C-alpha cells in the first residue's frame, strides 16, 4: 500500500472523483459475495467451459443486465406483502392513469421504470454508495388499481402505502399519474400521530386546484392533501413551476393557502444549493416527516418525452440530481415518482430518469445515514 496508492489517489483525479475512488475502497463486498453464492446454489454452477466460476447456469441476481425478471433493480419480488417490514425499502407500483387530462399511459409507468432499472447496478461512483451492501430492497409488485374509478383507486393506494409505511420499510412509489400524490400523502399523514407532514414537490405544474373536468384529477392532489389538518399548505414547497400549462385556479389556491412556489429561474438564479435549503426550511418547518413527490415533467421536455404534459424550459437532469443530493441531507418519509408514460417515451429515456431519481434518493439517504432506518 503506502506511497504508491496514496500518490495515485491524490494526483490523478478531480476532487469529486478522488472522493469517489476513496469511498469505493471502503465499501464492503459481503452482500455481493452472498448474491454470487446464492446464484450458484439456486441457478446451478455454470457449464464446464465457463472459466469464471462465479457465473451460474441460470441468471440469478444482477448479471447479465439484459436477463432476468424485471423487478426494480432486480430486487426480490416479495409476493407476501405482510413481510415487507423485513426490508429497509419497499418498492410498489401504482399503475393508474385515470387522473390524466391529456396524454395517458402512466399505468405502464411501473413496468417501464422496472424494465430500464435493470440497466443499473447497485453502486454509484460519485455517491460512493453500494445499495446492495447497505440496504435491503423488496419489490412488492403493484397496487390493484381500478381503471375508471379514481376514488376507489385512491383508497387502494392509501391502504397500500399505509401498510408499507407502518411496516417500517421506506416506501418508493412508482406512478402512475400525479393524482396518486393525494392518497400517498394521506396514508403517511394518518400515521404521524397528529404530527405534520411536509411535501417537497418537483413539477412544472402547481396541481393545487380543487377539481379539473369536474373531478379530482392529476391536477388536484395538493388541494386535497393540504385539506388534511396535519398536511398544512405552509409545508408544501413546489419546485420548478412554470410555463403555459399552469391553470389559474390552481395558482389562486396556492396564493390563498400560502404554498411556497419556486420557478426554474428562481432556483437557477439563487443557485440549487440555496433553493434546496429553502425547500428544506419550508417543508420541515414544524413538520415531523417530509414526503418527496417527483413529477418527471419538472425536467425540460427534451429529457422527458414520455410524460403526460411535457413543457420546455424545465430543469436539466444534473440540476434535479443535485437538488436531490441536498434534500436528502434530511430524512424522508418516502418518495413517489410520477407521470412517466412509457408509450410516449423515446429510448426509455423518461423511465431512465425516473429510475435515476429513485436510485439517487436512496443512495443519498444511505450516505446521509437516514437509511437503513432504525427498527425497534
Ligand atoms: Mn406535472
Q: Is residue 67 part of a domain?
A: no
Judgement on whether residues 7 and 117 belong to the same structural domain of the protein? no
Judgement on whether residues 94 and 226 belong to the same structural domain of the protein? yes
Q: What is the pTM of this model?
A: 0.96
Mean pLDDT of 330-359: 98
| Residue 30: exposure state from Cβ atoms within 10 A (0-12, 13-18, ≥19) | exposed
Q: Is residue 374 part of a domain?
A: no
Q: Is residue 261 part of a domain?
A: yes
Q: Is residue 90 part of a domain?
A: yes
Q: Is residue 66 part of a domain?
A: no
Residue 218 known to bind ligand? no
Q: For the chain, what's the residue count?
A: 376
Q: How far is the CA of 244 from the centre of ligand 1 (A)?
A: 12
Judgement on whether residues 228 and 348 belong to the same structural domain of the protein? yes
Mean pLDDT of 152-177: 98
11 pLDDT band (50/70/90 cuts)? confident
Q: What is the domain-level CATH number for residue 169?
A: 3.40.800.10
12 pLDDT band (50/70/90 cuts)? confident
pLDDT one-digit tens code per residue, 200-236? 999 999 999 999 999 999 999 999 999 999 999 999 9
Last residue of a domain, one of 42, 61, 80: 61
Judgement on whether residues 147 and 22 belong to the same structural domain of the protein? no
Q: How far is the CA of 149 from the centre of ligand 1 (A)?
A: 21
Q: Is residue 7 part of a domain?
A: yes
Q: How far is the CA of 127 from the centre of ligand 1 (A)?
A: 28
Q: What does the alpha-carbon distance between residue 43 and residue 49 come to, in Å, rounded to a whole number? A: 16
6, pLDDT greater than 60: no
pLDDT value at residue 373: 87
CB atoms within 10 A of CB 273: 12
Average pLDDT, the chain: 96
% of residues, the chain, pLDDT over 90: 95
Q: How far is the CA of 116 from the centre of ligand 1 (A)?
A: 22
Judgement on whether residues 330 and 300 belong to the same structural domain of the protein? yes
Mean pLDDT of 98-125: 98
Mean pLDDT of 59-78: 96
Q: How far is the CA of 69 from the centre of ligand 1 (A)?
A: 30
Q: Is residue 372 part of a domain?
A: no
Judgement on whether residues 33 and 101 belong to the same structural domain of the protein? no
Q: What does the alpha-carbon distance between residue 107 and residue 95 come to, in Å, rounded to a whole number? A: 4
Domain total for the chain? 2
Q: Is residue 32 part of a domain?
A: yes
- Containing 150, the helix (H) or strand (E) segment is helix 150-167
Please check whether residue 350 is in contact with residue 296, taking contact to mean a CB–CB distance below 8 angstroms: yes
Backbone angles phi, psi at 263, to 5 degrees: -80, 175
Q: How far is the CA of 205 from the centre of ligand 1 (A)?
A: 5
Please check whether residue 356 is in contact with residue 317, taking contact to mean a CB–CB distance below 8 angstroms: yes
Q: How far is the CA of 329 from the centre of ligand 1 (A)?
A: 25
Last residue of a domain, one of 61, 82, 101: 61
Judgement on whether residues 10 and 118 belong to the same structural domain of the protein? no
Q: How far is the CA of 332 from the centre of ligand 1 (A)?
A: 21
Of 251, 229, 235, 239, nearest to 299 by C-alpha is: 239
pLDDT value at residue 2: 43
Last residue of a domain, one of 41, 61, 81: 61
Residue 295 known to bind ligand? yes
348 pLDDT band (50/70/90 cuts)? very high
Judgement on whether residues 28 and 168 belong to the same structural domain of the protein? no
Judgement on whether residues 208 and 356 belong to the same structural domain of the protein? yes
Q: Which domain holds residue 190?
A: 72-367
Q: What does the alpha-carbon distance between residue 281 and residue 46 come to, in Å, rounded to a whole number? A: 54
Q: How far is the CA of 145 from the centre of ligand 1 (A)?
A: 21
Query: What DSSP state is assigned to residue 243?
Result: S
Judgement on whether residues 125 and 24 belong to the same structural domain of the protein? no
DSSP 82-103: GGGGGSSEEEEEE---TT-SS-
Residue 205 known to bind ligand? yes
Q: How far is the CA of 11 from the centre of ligand 1 (A)?
A: 45
- Three-state DSSP string of 7-69: HHHHHCCCHHHHHHHHHHHHCCCHHHHHHHHHHHHHHCECCCCCCCCCCECCCCCCCCCCCCC
% of residues, the chain, pLDDT over 70: 97
Q: How far is the CA of 330 from the centre of ligand 1 (A)?
A: 24
Q: What does the alpha-carbon distance between residue 369 and residue 81 come to, in Å, rounded to a whole number? A: 26
Of 33, 40, 78, 62, nearest to 122 by C-alpha is: 62
Judgement on whether residues 199 and 332 belong to the same structural domain of the protein? yes
Long-range contacts: 188-193, Cβ < 8 Å, 24+?
188/161, 188/162, 188/289, 188/291, 188/333, 188/334, 189/225, 189/228, 189/230, 189/231, 190/158, 190/162, 191/162, 191/165, 191/166, 192/230, 192/288, 192/289
Ion ligand 1, residues whose Cβ is below 5 A away: 203, 205, 295, 297
Q: How far is the CA of 240 from the centre of ligand 1 (A)?
A: 10
pLDDT value at residue 8: 58
pLDDT value at residue 9: 65
Judgement on whether residues 362 and 231 belong to the same structural domain of the protein? yes
Amino acid at each position: 500500500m503506502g506511497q504508491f496508492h496514496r500518490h495515485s489517489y491524490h494526483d490523478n483525479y478531480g476532487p469529486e472523483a478522488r472522493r469517489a475512488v476513496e469511498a469505493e475502497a471502503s465499501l464492503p463486498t459481503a452482500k455481493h459475495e452472498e448474491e454470487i453464492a446464492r446464484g450458484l446454489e439456486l441457478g446451478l454452477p455454470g457449464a464446464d467451459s465457463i472459466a469464471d466460476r462465479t457465473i451460474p447456469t441460470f441468471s440469478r441476481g444482477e448479471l447479465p443486465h439484459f436477463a432476468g425478471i424485471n423487478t426494480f433493480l432486480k430486487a426480490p419480488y416479495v409476493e407476501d406483502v405482510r413481510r415487507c417490514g423485513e426490508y429497509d425499502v419497499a418498492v410498489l407500483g401504482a399503475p393508474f392513469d385515470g387522473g390524466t387530462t391529456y396524454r395517458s399511459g402512466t399505468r405502464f409507468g411501473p413496468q417501464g421504470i422496472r424494465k430500464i432499472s435493470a440497466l443499473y447496478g447497485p453502486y454509484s461512483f460519485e455517491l460512493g454508495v453500494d445499495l446492495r451492501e447497505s440496504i435491503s430492497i423488496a419489490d412488492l409488485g403493484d397496487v390493484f388499481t381500478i381503471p375508471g374509478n379514481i376514488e376507489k383507486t385512491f383508497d387502494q393506494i392509501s391502504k397500500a402505502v399505509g401498510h408499507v409505511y407502518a411496516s417500517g420499510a421506506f416506501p418508493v412509489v412508482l406512478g402512475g399519474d400525479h393524482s396518486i400524490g393525494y392518497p400517498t400523502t394521506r396514508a403517511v399523514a394518518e400515521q404521524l400521530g397528529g404530527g405534520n407532514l411536509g411535501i417537497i414537490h418537483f413539477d412544472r405544474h402547481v396541481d393545487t386546484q380543487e377539481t379539473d373536468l369536474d373531478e379530482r384529477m392529476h391536477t388536484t392532489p395538493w388541494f386535497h392533501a393540504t385539506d388534511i389538518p396535519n398536511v398544512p399548505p405552509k409545508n408544501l414547497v413546489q419546485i420548478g413551476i412554470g410555463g403555459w400549462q399552469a391553470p389559474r385556479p390552481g395558482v389562486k389556491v396556492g396564493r390563498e393557502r400560502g404554498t411556497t412556489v419556486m420557478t426554474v429561474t428562481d432556483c437557477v438564479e439563487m443557485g440549487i444549493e440555496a433553493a434546496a435549503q429553502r425547500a428544506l426550511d419550508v417543508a420541515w418547518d414544524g413538520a415531523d416527516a417530509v414526503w418527496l413527490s417527483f413529477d418527471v415533467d419538472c425536467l425540460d421536455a427534451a429529457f422527458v418525452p414520455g410524460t403526460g404534459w411535457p413543457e420546455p424550459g424545465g430543469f436539466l437532469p444534473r440540476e434535479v440530481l443535485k437538488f436531490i443530493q441536498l434534500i436528502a441531507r434530511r430524512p424522508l418519509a418516502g418518495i413517489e415518482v410520477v407521470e412517466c408514460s412509457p408509450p410516449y417515451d423515446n429510448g426509455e429515456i423518461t423511465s431512465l430518469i425516473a429510475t435515476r431519481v429513485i436510485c439517487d434518493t436512496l443512495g443519498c439517504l444511505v450516505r446521509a445515514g437516514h437509511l437503513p432506518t432504525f427498527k425497534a
